[in-house]
Amino acid sequence: MDRLVLWNIDLTLLDVGRVSRDAYADAFRRVTGRSLSALPQLAGRTDTEIFFESLYLNDVPTGQSDAADAELLARYCWELEAAFTQRQNELSRQGRLLPGAGAVVSAAASLPGIVQTVLTGTIKPNAVTKLRTFGLEQFIDTEIGGYGSDAYPRGSLLMMSKGLAADKYGTAISDISAVYVADTVRDIEAAQLGGARSIGVASGRETVAELRDAGADLVLDDLSDTGQVISAIDKLTRVPAGR
């Protein structure tokens, strides 16, 4: 393995927004004892960021120290996993794979030297549940991914994922042999900071123009053209001869 493809999950590969929002509200209530009256913008944010922004928007005080905040977050992540697990049967009924996502992830697995993982704002247990529900887990190495349960910026998570991939497979991942496929401007910025090429997919809240202006190496309307996406992944991660 010498090439790494990182996928964002929500609004890049699939849409389970309704189930996720219900799980957020349930977990928030269990941890704080209050209803989730206001939910922050979700696009491009980690579950950790969403939780602390939700505390602020709903006038819930945080802990009195970093240790107290860490304990509060740990409780929330535990409740969020439980709330999501309770709604697992709803995922396939209320959620959907986005156009072309299944075919593209399957086809990318056959490219020489490619390993696929995820870089997502979702906590790891819930990310794995989403992938498994829609038949994508078999193509994804979830051990080397970056997740919303880690309280780091997404650019740092990308660097960590590259390091985990190098340790596991024994091959360093260069900035020109990794590509992040995602749908928000924050994701494109994370690719630049974390050392990866980027493919912006305008299947979320942000437009082709916004993703292009953010510096994406390529911007697509969606993933429906399997050949186009696979060709782009192959081209963007192929290290020139002699390097």
Considering Cα of 119, then 32, then 129, then 227, what sign does the dihedral take? negative
Instruction: Quote the pLDDT of residue 31.
Output: 92
pLDDT digits (tens, 9 = 90+) for 203-238: 999 999 999 999 999 999 999 999 999 999 999 998
**Number of domains comprising the chain:** 2
Q: Provide the domain limits for residue 180.
A: 3-16+96-237
11 and 125 share one domain: yes
The average pLDDT across 158-165 equals 94
Residue 192 has pLDDT above 70, yes or no: yes
Burial of 201 (0-12, 13-18, 19+ CB in 10 A): buried
Instruction: For residue 24, give the H/E element and its range.
Output: helix 17-32
The phi and psi torsions of 97 (rounded to 5 degrees) equal -70, 140
Q: Are strands 114-118 and 3-7 parallel, antiparallel or unpaired?
A: parallel
Does residue 35 sit within a domain? yes
pLDDT digits (tens, 9 = 90+) for 16-27: 989 999 999 999
pLDDT digits (tens, 9 = 90+) for 44-85: 788 888 888 899 999 988 767 888 888 888 999 999 999 999
Residue 241 has pLDDT above 60, yes or no: no
Instruction: Quote the pLDDT of residue 78.
Output: 95
Residue 63 structure tokens: 């802990």
Burial of 148 (0-12, 13-18, 19+ CB in 10 A): buried
Which strands form 218-220's sheet, in the order they lie side by side? 114-118, 3-7, 178-182, 197-201, 218-220
Does residue 79 sit within a domain? yes
In angstroms, rounded to a whole number, what is the distance separating the alpha carbons of residues 55 and 75? 14
Instruction: Quote the pLDDT of residue 243.
Output: 52
Q: What does the DSSP assignment read for 63-122?
A: -SSHHHHHHHHHHHHHHHHHHHHHTHHHHHHH-EEPTTHHHHHHHHTTSTTEEEEEB-SS
75 and 37 share one domain: yes
Domain end call among 44, 76, 92: 92
63 and 113 share one domain: no
31 and 80 share one domain: yes
Query: Distance from CA of residue 190 to its chain's centroid?
Result: 11
Nearest alpha-carbon partner for 24 in 42, 44, 9, 12: 42
Residue 240 has pLDDT above 70, yes or no: no
Domain end call among 76, 92, 108: 92
Burial of 226 (0-12, 13-18, 19+ CB in 10 A): middle
121 and 25 share one domain: no
Does residue 242 sit within a domain? no
70 and 46 share one domain: yes
The average pLDDT across 98-123 equals 96
In angstroms, rounded to a whole number, what is the distance separating the alpha carbons of residues 181 and 201? 7
Domain end call among 92, 110, 129: 92
Does residue 243 sit within a domain? no
